Each structure stands twice: as structure tokens, then as C-alpha cells.
Amino acid sequence: MQKYGLIGYPLKHSFSSGYFNEKFASEGIDAEYVNFEIPEIKDFMQVIEENPNLKGLNVTIPYKEKVISYLDELDKDTAAIGAVNVIKIIREKGKVKLVGYNSDIIGFTQSIEPLLQPHHTKALILGTGGASKATYHGLKKLGIESTFVSRTARFGMYTYEELTKEIIEEYKVIVNCTPVGMYPKVDVCPDIPYEYLTSQHLLYDLLYNPNMTLFMKKGKSKGATTKNGLEMLLLQAFAAWEIWQK
């Protein structure tokens, strides 16, 4: 039986194991998907060594960047992003080759592209973690120039306090890549000046629980187009499966 899995810590609410095990059962695929909850990244190679039938892994926080030093190769987009969420395990003649990919960029671009209008030329990316890097490169592929918004002052980025009416008017796409507003803390949202949003804005939230975050509700009340991250999650899972199979 083939084995696939997820590494991260903690893994109490993993979408992947439910999704893939259902897929294997419904399509008659002789495989299983297992969560490998590893407290430290140094435990990663132990997972590879102890599971000789392991064909592929997903990677979630906090290891999307830390796992790179253990890999033999990165695909081009992934190298530019600097964050991995899919690993293909190739076993040949007793040797193991680990190749890193990023399916977040695939899921995100496929999900947001149908919503884009000609006036969507600039984006604010809320957050600076691994998911925000994939978002940045995804938007770049779609011809959209992006600027990060960080809680702390950094060169070339805005802080939340610096966001003015003029900036919000200039950047018509706003993507939330932070966990702010995720269940159970559903009554909070990223600290941006929502009063300057218009019907020309597109607010995309990578979160999908709750279905409608406060960030999205506040955008909707100003006539903005909104979307959550559920479709992106599904699309990046499809992409992961394709990577493992090719």
C-alpha cells in the first residue's frame, strides 16, 4: 500500500488527511494518508526512513521554510517563493530523492484569476509568512504588483498604521494571509481602514473557517467582491496529487 502524509506541528485540524483518505476510498486507490506530527524539523528524516512506502508529503506550519534544507531539489517557482508545501519522494536503486514544490501558488492563482478585473493592478498582502510569499508570486504571474503589510516596520513594506485612504484607493486587491479571524476567534479581523473600501475592491481571505470572515463581511458591506480560501485549498490538494503522480 502506498502512503502519503502531512508534516507539521500541531496537526489537530488537518483538511488533507480527510480529503485524501476519502479520495482513495472513493476511487479505489490502494493508499493511505497519515498525519506525521513532528515537534521539531530534525525529526523529518526519521519519517522518511521509517516509512519506505511513503511517496509524497504535504508540509504545513511551522515547517514550510525549515524543510527546504533537507530537500535535494526545488522546482523553479518554489525556489523563488522560498516555501514548500508539497514534497515528492523518488526512490531509485536504494536512494531517496526529495523534491520540493509549492501547490499554494497553483491553488491561489487558479482561484483568484476569474475574479480579477482590468482595474485590479495592485495588491496589498496582509502578512509575511510562507503563504504570503506564494501569494506574492502568484499575483506576479497574473501581472499584479504587490506590497506586503506587516505588523512591524520593514523596508519596502507598509505597517497597518501606515495604511491611508490614498493607499487603499490605489491597491484594489487585498489578500489576507494571516490567521486573524480564524475560528474560534471569529470576531476579529486585520486592522485595515475598511471605511475606504469600494465596490471596485476585491478582498480575498486565505482562511475558510468561518466561511465568511469578519474581514470579508466588512468588505462586503462596502460592496467589495469577497472570496474565502476553500477553493484554493481544494485546488492545491488537486495540484499536490498531480505532482505526486507525474
Q: Dump pLDDT digits (tens) for 95-113.
A: 999 999 999 999 999 999 9
Specify if 240 maps to a domain. Answer: no
Query: Same structural domain for residues 115 and 224?
Result: yes
The pLDDT of residue 15: 84
Cell digits for 33?
Answer: 494518508
Q: Is the pLDDT reported for residue 13 higher than 80?
A: no
Query: Do residues 57 and 141 both lie within one domain?
Result: no
Active-site residue, selected from the candidate residues 23, 64, 97, 217? 64
Q: Are 141 and 41 contained in the same domain?
A: no
Taking 90 as the threshold, does the pLDDT of residue 194 lie above it?
yes
Q: Tell me whether residue 64 is one of the annotated catalytic residues.
A: yes
The residue type of 67 is: V
Give 129's pLDDT tier (boundaries 50, 70, 90): confident
Per-residue confidence (pLDDT) for residue 130, from 0 to 100: 79
Question: Which pLDDT value is given to residue 239?
Answer: 97
- Domain ranges, residue 178: 105-232
Going from the C-alpha of 116 to that of each of 77, 134, 205, 213, the distances in angstroms are 22, 18, 15, 20
In the chain, how many domains are there? Answer: 2
The residue out of 77, 101, 125 marking a domain boundary is 101
The answer to whether the predicted template modeling score (pTM) of the entire model surpasses 0.85 is yes
Are 153 and 111 part of one and the same domain?
yes
Single residue among 65, 80, 101 that ends a domain in this structure = 101
Question: What is the average pLDDT across 45-61?
Answer: 96
How far apart are alpha carbons 68 and 77 in whole angstroms?
14
Does residue 115 share a domain with residue 76? no
Evaluate if residue 123 carries a pLDDT over 80. yes
Whether residue 220 sits in one domain with residue 199: yes
Of 63, 85, 101, which one is at a domain's C-terminal end? 101
Q: What is the CATH number of the domain that holds 162?
A: 3.40.50.720
